[in-house]
Each structure stands twice: as C-alpha cells, then as structure tokens.
Structure 1
Amino acid sequence: MIEVKGLHKSFGDVHILKDISTTFKKGKTSMVIGQSGSGKTVFLKCLLGLFDYEQGSISYDGKIFGQLNADEKRNIRSKIGMVFQGSALFDSMTIAENVMFPLRMFTKQSKSEMEDRVNFVLKRVNLADAHYKMPSEASGGMQKRVAIARAIVNKPKYLFCDEPNSGLDPKTAIVIDNLIQEITEEYNITTVINSHDMNSVMEIGEKIVFLKDGKKAWEGSKETIFKTDNEAVTNFVYSSELFKKVRKMYLEENES
C-alpha cells in the first residue's frame, strides 16, 4: 500500500502539487487522471522518489520514504517497477536483455537464475518466442508487453505506468489494460497508472484520483464516477458525446 499525506511540490515560485492526500491499495489498479498541466506527471515522479517535495509524506507499506537512509531508499526503489510512456527500451539490446536489465542492476542472481526469470515473465506476457528480437523488430503492442515484463521481472511490490496505452490502437490498448490488471491481481501489486484515456479508466479503474490545477479534486471508482456531480470531473470525463451517452444509460439503468 502507498499512502500520500498532505503532499506539496513547487518549482521555484510555481506551486504544482497542493495538499494531495490519498491511498493506493495492494492488488488494485489505481488511475490518476486530469488535463495536461494538472500535475499528474509531477505526482507520479514524487511517488517514484525522483522528486523531493516541500511538505507532506509518502509511505510505502508504512515506511515513510523521506525518513529512510540511502540504503533503505534503494531497497524501496528495487521493489518498484515502471512502465514508461514510450516503453523506453534500449535499442541496442535484445528483448531478453532489456527484460534482464533490472535483475543485473538490483540483484546478485546467477546468469541461469536471471535467464529463468526472464523466460518466465516473457511467457507471462505472451512473448515466449521473442527473446532474440530487437525492439525495432517489435510492434508497439509488443514493445509495451516487453516494458511490462521488464517492470515485473524483479517481482515488484509497486508498479507505476505512465500513459501505457499511448500510441496504441483501441484493441491493443484493451489487451495492455487487461494484462496490467491481471498482473496486479495475480501478484498483489500496488499499481498506479497515469492516464488520459477514459476507455482505460472505465476498463480497469478500481480507484480513480482526479487532479485539477495540482489539487485532488475528486476520487472514487469507475462505478461512482458516473454518479458524481463534481463539475470539474464531469467536464473532463464527459467531454465526448460517447461518454455523455454512456453516463445517461448508466443512470437510467440504475434508476429503474
């Protein structure tokens, strides 16, 4: 579980995050949504330990990150998996080498142990025969699956994803959504996803945190988001005619 209390982050005179408090639970896919400039990326980087902050705290299973020494912080970071927006694979490495990279960084496993783990996670994301391909030979969907395999290869307790469906067609995006949710439940991971894709939010958003102008303007689930009368949320979520129709149908069904 990750618990955020009273988080404030500024860059010079610009106050980006303003008193954000929330909790992300194990085994759940949590979504952080909001318009561009709402603070989503800065928030995610604070959760990752990449940015310091002026006030507040972030706890990982009860351990306050800001109070840990260097070795303890490294231990927390070794338990974090990250799926980057552009997959961020190393072009000069094969797919297997990309997936093995975190094991080389954070573990002292033997080569055979690392190879066994790489084989396992590549099979888990349905890429059992892709070991020797280069990233340039893989489709966008395959690259995302490689990124997920690399993120989970070191058996993380915490998984962060930044726009994991960026650049994917709708069908492939659903495959990636379902894979992230399956892995989250299967390994009881605390998963936090930055997204602007409302299809993803409605597909796997067990918890949704909506940021506006650096503040937490609303939180709930994909079920309760249909019921809210929070104007900032409804303006963001129902900016398309499709979601307006979906909400209307949902409310009509639940009134009858």
Structure 2
Amino acid sequence: MIEIKNLHKGFGEEKILKGVDLLFETGKTNLVIGQSGSGKSVLMKCMLGLFTPEQGTIEYDGTAYVDFSDEQKRELRQEIGMLFQGGALFDSMTVEENVMFPLRMFTKKRRKDLIKRVHEVLERVNLEDAALKYPAEISGGMQKRVAIARAIVNKPKYLFCDEPNSGLDPHTATIIDNLIHELTVEYDITTVVITHDMNSLLEIGETIAFLKDGKVAWKGDKSQIFKTDDQTVTDFVYSSDLFKKVREAQNQGL
C-alpha cells in the first residue's frame, strides 16, 4: 500500500502538485488519469524518489519515505518494478539479457540461478521462445511484454507503469492491460498506472484518481466514473471515441 498525504511540489514559482491525498491499494491496479500538465508524471516521480516534495508525505506500507535511512531507500528501490512508456529496452542486449539486467544490478546470485528466474518470467509473459532475440527482432507488443518481465523479475512489492499502452494497437493494449492486472493479483503488488488510455480505465480501473491542476478532482472506480455528475471528469472521459460510444449505448438503453 502507498499512501500520499497533502503532497505539494513545484518548480520555482510554478506549483504542480497542490495538496494531493491518495491511497494506492495492494493487489489492485490503481490508475491515475488527467490531462497533460495535471501533475501525473510529477506525482509518480515523487513516489519514485526522483523529486522531493516541499510538503506532505509518501508512505510505503505505513512508513514515510522521508524517514527512511539510506539503506532502507536502497531496499525500497529493489522492491520497485518500473514499466516505462517506451519500454526502454537495451537494443544491444537480447531479451534474456534485458530481463536479467535488474537481477545483475540488485542480486549476487549465480548466473545459473539468474537464468532460471529470467526464463520463469519469460514463460509467464509467453515469451520463452524469444529469449535469444534482440528487441528489433520482435513486435512492439512483445517488446512491452519483455519490459513487463523485466519489471517483475525481482518480485517487486510495488509496480509503476507510465503509459504502458503507448504506441500499441487496441487489441495488443488490452493484452498488456490484462497482463498487468493478472500479475498484480498473482504477486499481490501495489500497482500504479499513469495513463491517458480510456480502454485501460474500462479494463483494469479498480481504483481511479482524476488529477486536474495539481489536485485530486475525483476518485472512484470504473463503474462509478459513469455515474459521476462532475462535469470536469465527464468532459475528460467522454472526449474519447470509445467512451462516446459507451454513452450513446447507455442513452439508447443497450
């Protein structure tokens, strides 16, 4: 569980986060949505320790990050899996080497044990036959699954996903959404997903936070978001073609 309390973050005179309060639950896919500039990326970077907030706290399972010792911060980094927007795979490394990278960085296990763990997660994401291929030799969807395998190879307690469906077709995006959700439940991970993808909201939006101008404008789940009378939220959500079709179907009683 990750709890955000009264978080403030700015750069010079520009205030980005203005008192954010959020709870990201363990074993659930927690989505953060909002327009560009609403503070989503800054919020994630604060949670990752890349930015230091001016005010407020970020608690990991009840302990404030600001109170962590240097050793505890190192341990936390080992417990975090990160799925980057573009996948961020190393072109010069094979799939196997890409997935092994966090293990080599954070563990001192024998190579035989590293290989075993790598192939366990590759099998889990249905890529065991692609281990010796390079990223350029596989599809975009497969590359994203490699990135997911790399993110979970250290058995993280927390998984951060930054626009995981960026650049993917709708069918592949749904596969990635479902995989993220399955792994969240399977490993009992606290998963935070930053996304603009409304299909992701429909597929895996177990908890949803809508940010606007650095504040939490709405919180709920994928069923409640259809019932809200908050005009700011509905304007954002129904700006997508997918949700326009959903609204039309609702209005027609389908």
Q: Give the TM-score normalised by the residue count of structure 2.
A: 0.97
**Alpha-carbon distance in 2 for matches of 1:44, 1:206:** 18
Mapping 1:154-193, distance limit 5 Å: 154-193=154-193
Classify 1:242/1:155 alpha carbon distance in 2 versus 1 (closer, same or farther; 3 Å).
Answer: closer
**Alpha-carbon distance in 2 for matches of 1:17, 1:212:** 10
Corresponding residue SS for 1:44: helix
Q: Report if the CA contact (8 A) 1:96-1:132 is conserved.
A: yes
Unaligned runs of 5+ in 2: none
Q: Report if the CA contact (8 A) 2:199-2:242 is conserved.
A: no
| Counterpart residue number, 2:106 | 106
Give CA deviations for 1:21-79 in whole Å, capped at 9, x if unaligned.
01011110011000111111111111111111100000111111111111111111110
| Counterpart residue number, 1:17 | 17
**Alpha-carbon distance in 2 for matches of 1:145, 1:100:** 14
Mapping 1:204-219, distance limit 5 Å: 204-219=204-219
Give CA deviations for 1:210-254 in whole Å, capped at 9, x if unaligned.
001111110100000000011110010011354134135447769
Q: Report if the CA contact (8 A) 1:226-1:251 is conserved.
A: no
**Alpha-carbon distance in 1 for matches of 2:161, 2:28:** 13
- After TM superposition, the structure 1 stretch with the greater mean CA deviation from structure 2, 154-163 or 237-246, is 237-246
**Alpha-carbon distance in 1 for matches of 2:207, 2:186:** 18
Corresponding residue SS for 2:246: helix
Classify 1:128/1:22 alpha carbon distance in 2 versus 1 (closer, same or farther; 3 Å).
Answer: same
Classify 1:134/1:5 alpha carbon distance in 2 versus 1 (closer, same or farther; 3 Å).
Answer: same
**Alpha-carbon distance in 1 for matches of 2:87, 2:112:** 26
Structure 1 runs (4+) greater than 4 angstroms displaced: 250-254
Q: Report if the CA contact (8 A) 1:226-1:250 is conserved.
A: no
Give CA deviations for 1:129-159 in whole Å, capped at 9, x if unaligned.
1111111111100110000000000000000
| Counterpart residue number, 2:201 | 201
Across the aligned residues of Structure 1 and Structure 2, the Cα RMSD in angstroms comes to 1.4
Unaligned runs of 5+ in 1: none
| Counterpart residue number, 2:76 | 76
